[in-house]
Amino acid sequence: MSDRKARGVPPGQWLGVLGGGQLGRMFCHAAQVLGYRVCVLDPSADGPAGSVAERQIVAAYDDTQALAELGRLCAALTTEFENVPAASLEHLAWQRPVRPAAAAVAVAQDRLREKAFVRTCGVPVAPHAAIATAADLGAVDAALFPAILKTARLGYDGKGQIAVADAAGLAAAWQELGSVPCVLEKRLPLRRELSVIIARGSDGATAVFPVSENEHRDGILAVSVLPARITPEQAERACAIAGAIASRLDYVGVLCVELFELAGGELVVNEMAPRPHNSGHATIDACVTSQFAQQVRALAGLPLGDCRLLAPAVMLNLLGDIWFDAAGSERAPAFDQVLGVPGACLHLYGKAEARPGRKMGHVTVLGQSADEAMARAARVAAILGMELPALASAAALMAEPTGPAGTM
């Protein structure tokens, strides 16, 4: 029903977003560029999206009165994070088109369902076992170790995960995670981490961004390189996997599929996110259409935009850590110097308080070549006192002499 209703939500109308974090904030920016007004529903009054949205409803995600108010105001609704209760999306869908649909979000909310679903698409996932009860602990295949125990639900940025070397450590790890339903996943030898961001319209049309190559630190995305340094055949395979998943889910909106590339080149799906993704932030500055603009277009039933890359890019995530020196004293990051690096595009999310591990912003660094973008990104990292991206090759670091900023 929602597809017919949503076709052609014209600019000037209200779009609604569940969640008020940085993804919601960047959704607002993109929607406003196209002349939409945005209402954000979030339990917290001072989130990054609330301050840029035209309206904010401060309420719990399952507050039926608040949902009804959002539904009355907005012509179509989306979510900016996957842990919004699927029931709330379903509830809203009685009133208005909701994209992605609750059913698709529900698959991504549960690692076990997600893995089973990906397999039905003919795509491999890491060998794993469900740990639902204490009885499951003893029945685990020894071949799964060394492994990672992950909570089936609500995990993000490496939270809700414990490395487990062998069967002896499993029970304690499960207890530490609260004895909630988990998935025990074989730790795979990764050659590379990749992600594909795909947009799919209600008419089934798709648009796929160039594959991104990602480096994580402590379970949190640190660096993304766009485009990934893989062969065209490998990129085609990665995009085909994302396309198969999106179409089988009958997905409408922006979907991110995280992939592992193994030593032999085999691609394995790690997980998916039913929304724009951190690894796609470079699309804002580096592509004709950003992932957030695609989210707006798919939501409003407009034609999807061109995903073409305009320049090679490296995105550095800015965590709260860089607001502190080695002794733990607060300091102001030298953003003025960052802005002096050619091709550096700084995005800050307006969060009042910096905390270690908290996502405060990102810098996308563009170059004429991939090496130039990487060399500039290495300069930005050095200015901010961040660890250099491991993805940066020594050759790339030599590629550019110190530029006009002269800060290094």
> What residue ranges bind ligand ADP (CB under 6 A)?
126, 148, 150, 155-158, 185, 187-188, 190, 193, 216, 219, 258, 270-271
Distance CA 48, CA 20 (A): 6
Among residues 29 and 359, whose Cβ is nearest to ligand ADP? Answer: 359
Q: Which are the contacts of 94, defined by CB distance < 8 A and separation ≥ 6?
A: none
CB of 156 to ligand ADP, least distance (A): 5
* Whether 275 contacts 23, CB under 8 Å: yes
Among residues 83 and 247, whose Cβ is nearest to ligand ADP? Answer: 83
Among residues 190 and 244, whose Cβ is nearest to ligand ADP? Answer: 190
CB of 216 to ligand ADP, least distance (A): 4
Q: How far is CA 178 from CA 133, 134, 171, in A?
A: 12, 12, 11
Q: Which are the contacts of 295, defined by CB distance < 8 A and separation ≥ 6?
A: 27, 30, 78, 199, 253, 254, 275, 276
Among residues 162 and 190, whose Cβ is nearest to ligand ADP? Answer: 190
CB of 385 to ligand ADP, least distance (A): 23
My answer on whether omega of the bond before 227 falls inside 30° of 0, hence cis, is: yes
Distance CA 167, CA 157 (A): 25
* Whether 265 contacts 229, CB under 8 Å: no
CB of 120 to ligand ADP, least distance (A): 19
* Whether 32 contacts 14, CB under 8 Å: no
Distance CA 67, CA 88 (A): 7
CB of 28 to ligand ADP, least distance (A): 24
Among residues 36 and 260, whose Cβ is nearest to ligand ADP? Answer: 260
Tokens of 277: 């993704």
CB of 261 to ligand ADP, least distance (A): 11
Query: Strand pairing of 212-217 and 161-164?
Result: unpaired
Q: Which are the contacts of 115, defined by CB distance < 8 A and separation ≥ 6?
A: 125, 126, 128, 183, 269
Secondary structure of residue 34 in the 3-state scheme: coil
Among residues 222 and 338, whose Cβ is nearest to ligand ADP? Answer: 222
Q: H or E segment at 273? A: strand 267-273
CB of 26 to ligand ADP, least distance (A): 19
Among residues 2 and 22, whose Cβ is nearest to ligand ADP? Answer: 22
CB of 35 to ligand ADP, least distance (A): 34
Query: Strand pairing of 212-217 and 76-79?
Result: unpaired
Distance CA 229, CA 221 (A): 17
Among residues 155 and 243, whose Cβ is nearest to ligand ADP? Answer: 155
CB of 282 to ligand ADP, least distance (A): 17
Among residues 60 and 163, whose Cβ is nearest to ligand ADP? Answer: 163
